[in-house]
């Protein structure tokens, strides 16, 4: 669910294999499009060890993080669009087979997502300043439209 969890799994040796790492609930409504570049070092080390590695997230990454194949800004994001409908990342589980093909632009899974309920969304921790920006996150337009509450409200 988080960059920190990925780093902990890496340190514990739990990722020493071919792996597609999914970091969900990082999108504009959940975390305000948190930067994911901290994922590149551990995933790059796994690549250097000979493993096939990819990242899938509804968050963002800097262009300088291009070593690891990644599907970023996945929409609809795991938290959804505020209409109760959650994105497909909320339906994935550990062990699901995921295929990411940069050449074809394909992101797919063999899992039967229609038969699943979404995982619970993480709750915001009060007192961390996040409550100050909740309105902006909840009214933000999609990542591909800029993820801005102001542009969405202005109809731009």
Residue-wise pLDDT for 56-68, tens only, equals 999 888 765 678 8
Q: CATH classification of 3-153 is 3.30.360.10, yes or no?
A: no
Model confidence, pTM: 0.82
pLDDT over 70 (residue 148): no
Query: DSSP of 61-97, one letter per residue?
Result: --GGGTTS-EE-S-SS-TT-SSSSPPPGGGG--TT--
Residue-wise pLDDT tens digits, 10-27? 999 999 999 999 999 888
- β-strands 98-101, 106-109 pairing: antiparallel
Counted residue by residue, the chain has a size of 156
Q: Where are the domains of the chain?
A: 3-153
Structure tokens that stand for 14 in this block: 């739990």
**Residue 123: C-alpha distances to residues 43, 97, 148 (Å):** 27, 27, 22
Query: What's the average model confidence in pLDDT over 82-111?
Result: 89
| pLDDT value, residue 109 | 96
**What mean pLDDT comes out for the span 96-108?**
92
């Amino acid at each position: 669910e988080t960059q920190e969890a990925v780093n902990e799994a890496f340190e514990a040796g739990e990722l020493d294999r071919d792996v597609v790492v999914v970091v969900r609930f990082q999108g504009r409504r959940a975390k305000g499009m948190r930067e994911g570049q901290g994922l590149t070092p551990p995933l790059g080390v796994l690549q250097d060890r000979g493993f096939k590695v990819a990242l899938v997230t509804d968050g963002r990454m800097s262009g300088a993080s291009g070593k690891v194949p990644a599907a970023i800004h996945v929409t609809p994001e795991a938290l959804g669009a505020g209409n109760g409908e959650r994105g497909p990342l909320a339906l994935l589980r550990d062990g699901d087979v995921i295929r990411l093909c940069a050449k074809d632009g394909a992101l797919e899974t063999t899992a039967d997502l229609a038969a699943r309920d979404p995982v619970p969304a993480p709750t915001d921790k009060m007192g961390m300043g996040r409550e100050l920006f909740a309105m902006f996150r909840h009214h933000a337009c999609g990542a591909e439209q800029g993820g801005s509450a102001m542009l969405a409200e202005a109809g731009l």
